Structure formats: C-alpha cells, structure tokens
Amino acid sequence: MNARLITIAKCGFWWMFWIWTGLITLVAGVGLWMQYQHLVFNDSTCEPVGLYQLRSSPYPLHNGELVEVEIPGPAHHAAVAEGLKYHWFPPGQPWIKEIAAVPGQTVTLARSGVRVEGHTLPNSRVDRWTPGHHHRIVHYSFGTYHLKHGQVWLYAPGNYAFDSSYYGPVPESHILQRAVPWWTIPGSQFWLRKGD
C-alpha cells in the first residue's frame, strides 16, 4: 500500500512539474512575442483595456494621437503623489494617453470638463471622489492655460481617467512613443461606473 502511494505521489509530482514547466514556457513565449511585436498591455480603464502597439517616435505631435507617456514626477504633482500613495497605479509604469493639446493651443479646465480651443472633450468632467467616495481627488487648478513651447495636455476618455485635468500639462520629453490599439475591449474604459 505504501509503495503504491509513493508511486502515485511520484506520478503526481511529475505531472505538476510538466504542467508548471509548460505554463512558464508559455508565459515566457508570449512575453517574448509581445516584446518582438512592440506590444504593451494596458489594464487601466483610462483608455480601452487591451494591447497597444508602440511605434517609434511620436514627433511631430498632433491632437488626438495616442502615445505612451512617462509618469510625471510626484515631487511636482500633488495628484501623482496621491495616486502613488493610494496605489491607484504602479510606480514607473508608462501610461497610454491621448494628446489633447500641443504648444500654442489654449485649454480651459473647469469642474464640468476640459475645453481645447473652444471644443469640449467628451467625458472630461473633473471628479471630486474616487469610486465609492473613499478618497477626495486632487485636481489641477481650474482656469485657462495657453500651452508653452514643450508642453502638452494629456486626455483619457474613460470614467475616472487620470489625465492632465489632475496633474496639468506635461513636458513633451515625457512622451515616449506613439501607441496604436492592436486588440482592445470596446467600451472597457467605462467599466468603472461614475458616482454622484
């Protein structure tokens, strides 16, 4: 009886070993394939959830283009410091955002939303609270801003999107690459429901 249990245990061990080896190999293979294809996974609902392909230099910058952007420094942006403190996003992970305005353009930020050159951006109302009213959200000062040389205004259409409405314009040097949706879940940027 004991010998039979030992044999079963050995067989179970080898089955588990080969299953785990196969899973690790599969994950590593997918990771290498994504790297080769220049794909990144966006799990934030600022933009639709899914895979985005990164395509070299984003310059010259244009309104409406999706880009991969480096997180602004928390030392200069209270909203970014708050987001890192409450783990709303991981430190150091680039974001996928849309360029809403480039140098020379005028942006007006109000509680009701963002206007660029007189046109209101969809779903850009500035939120006061996180989902469930757990934390009050710091936002950029309301007002009108004329973007200077080297500044861009970032926008994301999703519910509770974290964009320049909260941390203001960012330096063009923070734009890393152009991003193109490769496979995304339509409407996933609205999965988080808006509160009152």
Residue 153, in any domain of the structure: yes
Residue 164, in any domain of the structure: yes
| CATH number of the domain that residue 143 is part of | 2.10.109.10
The residue range of the domain holding 63 is 42-186
Report whether pLDDT(196) > 60.
Answer: no
DSSP letter, residue 78: H
Report whether pLDDT(13) > 60.
Answer: yes
Q: Considering all CA atoms of the chain, what is the largest pairwise distance in Å, rounded to the nearest integer?
A: 82
| pTM across the whole model | 0.85
User: Same structural domain for residues 84 and 114?
Assistant: yes
pLDDT tens figures, 2-11: 666 566 666 6
User: Same structural domain for residues 12 and 79?
Assistant: no
pLDDT attached to residue 7: 63
User: Same structural domain for residues 47 and 3?
Assistant: no
From the number of C-beta atoms within 10 Å of its C-beta (0-12, 13-18, 19+), residue 108 rates as middle
| Phi, psi angle pair for 29, to nearest 5° | -65, -45
Report whether pLDDT(73) > 60.
Answer: yes
Report whether pLDDT(53) > 70.
Answer: yes
Residue 192, in any domain of the structure: no
Rounded Cα distance, 120 and 40, in Å: 29
The pair of three-digit structure tokens given for residue 50, joined into one six-digit string: 């899914």
Question: What is the domain count for the chain?
Answer: 2
pLDDT tens figures, 101-123: 999 999 999 999 999 999 999 99
pLDDT attached to residue 9: 62
- Decide: helix, strand or coil at residue 158: coil
